[in-house]
Amino acid sequence: MKRINIIIYFLLTFIPIWASAGTNVGNCIFTTSKSFDIIASLQYFDKIKDVPRFCNLATDSVFMSRLSHVNENVKASKLCNFYSIYGGDKNNTDSCVIFFNNIQLNDSISRSDADWIRNIVELRPEITYCISALNAAGYSDYWDNEIKPILERQIAAYPVSEKTLDDIHDALTEFSGPEILPPTHSNTYILNIDNAFNLSDESFCCTPLLLDVELEKKFRLDFLKVYIHENLHRLSVSDELMRKLDDLMMDDFYRDNENVARSHNEGHNEAFVVAAEAFISHKIGRRDNKSVYDEFKEYVDGSLVLTPIIYVHLHDKQKDESLDSFILRLFDNGTIKAGRVKAEYDKAMRQLGSKIVSDER
């Protein structure tokens, strides 16, 4: 599916679901986080700068200078991941301020040699200053009264039946083979942001735009298909398979398209997940053949050229075979091979196209 703009780009990449009462699932999947929202507001300060209580900050040169320095060096996704990994309170902005102020006292943080962690540690003074200023300006009260009610209304308005979720989970469980996916669904934190990103604990942060049914219709964004997609990212990918992908870069057709995919922050093993999502969605009746074909032609400008090749062979995947082992088998038997990618891609797309023709008869 082609990235229509930067918002839609992220909308198509990450997320699971929730819905309201009655025949819908309870609030065990979707939730909110005041702390994540105040952290994300550093990157999204433009969304609140005209709110009366924050106007003084918008004209404060010291605050804006430090905010700019933070945003030039780290994204909200990294800050929220950092906060989540090290156990920050997700619903208390006072605790959030204390957390960042005391980073240097946290032994787990100080022992980390990850570059992105060290980067946040170095930015601690500026991050703490900005979050403290927002908190002092009344962010907690603002969130309680202005943000939370909007998020909760949008969450409650998105209908998803429990049966649908059960069907999807059963299909995911069957597809995963020897890999056991957790029986519970991941939390999704609906935040006052315009994009979406995953957290290292397999939960997600995302914009309430994902819960807008009209936008879903307009841009052909099927929330449940994205839900399947992201859950499939939980399946493991071996170093051996990633090395085979690297070796495949000697194939001109694959390399040219892979470079396009990577320019969109996609590529690598994304083709595996897109193929698997389409396969599962088609199997449970959430995609028809034309939807599958269009997905492969349009998603990231059609650059994930391994996707249709994998898809047309997934019916041969054995029940006790992992997705990783199955794709390794496609490499081993020459289905995916340098010098043959374009031929196999064209063959797979023709096969999909013929199914569309059959459906229309």
Q: What is the pLDDT of residues 131-150, one digit of tens each?
A: 999 999 999 999 999 999 99
Q: What is the pLDDT of residues 318-334, one digit of tens each?
A: 999 999 999 999 999 99
The position carrying tokens 């000697």 is 250
User: Is the pLDDT assigned to residue 89 strictly greater than 80?
Assistant: yes
Residue 3 pLDDT: 36
**pLDDT grade for 185, boundaries at 50, 70 and 90:** low
Residue type, 351: Q
31 phi-psi bin (left φ>0, alpha ψ -120 to 50, beta other): beta
Query: 3-state DSSP call for residue 24?
Result: strand
Give the separation between CA 18 and CA 29, rounded to whole angstroms: 5
Specify the higher pLDDT residue, 22 or 241.
Answer: 241
Give the separation between CA 297 and CA 305, rounded to whole angstroms: 9
Residue 218 pLDDT: 67
User: Is the pLDDT assigned to residue 60 strictly greater than 50?
Assistant: yes
Q: What is the pLDDT of residues 249-290, one digit of tens each?
A: 999 999 999 999 999 878 899 999 999 999 999 999 989 999
Q: What is the pLDDT of residues 220-243, one digit of tens each?
A: 666 777 778 878 888 899 999 999
Q: Which CA distances in Å does 6 have to 3, 11, 46, 195?
A: 7, 9, 16, 8
Work out the number of other CB atoms within 10 angstroms of the CB of residue 167: 15
Q: Where are the beta strands (DSSP E) in 56-192?
A: 188-190
User: What is the pTM assigned to this prediction?
Assistant: 0.71
Edge-to-edge strand order for the sheet containing 30-31?
30-31, 188-190, 204-206, 196-198
Residue type, 223: F
Closest CA to 277 of 227, 351, 324: 227
User: Is the pLDDT assigned to residue 195 strictly greater than 70?
Assistant: yes
Residue 20 pLDDT: 33
- Contact 352/312 with Cβ under 8 angstroms? yes
pLDDT, mean of residues 27-52:
90
Pairing outcome for strands 204-206 and 196-198: antiparallel
Q: How much of the chain, in percent, has pLDDT values that exceed 90?
A: 62
Residue type, 262: R
Which own/partner pairs from 53-61 qualify as long-range (CB within 8 Å, at least 24 positions apart)?
53/137, 53/138, 53/142, 54/134, 54/137, 54/142, 56/137, 57/133, 57/134, 57/137, 60/133
Give the separation between CA 108 and CA 239, rounded to whole angstroms: 27
Residue 292 pLDDT: 94
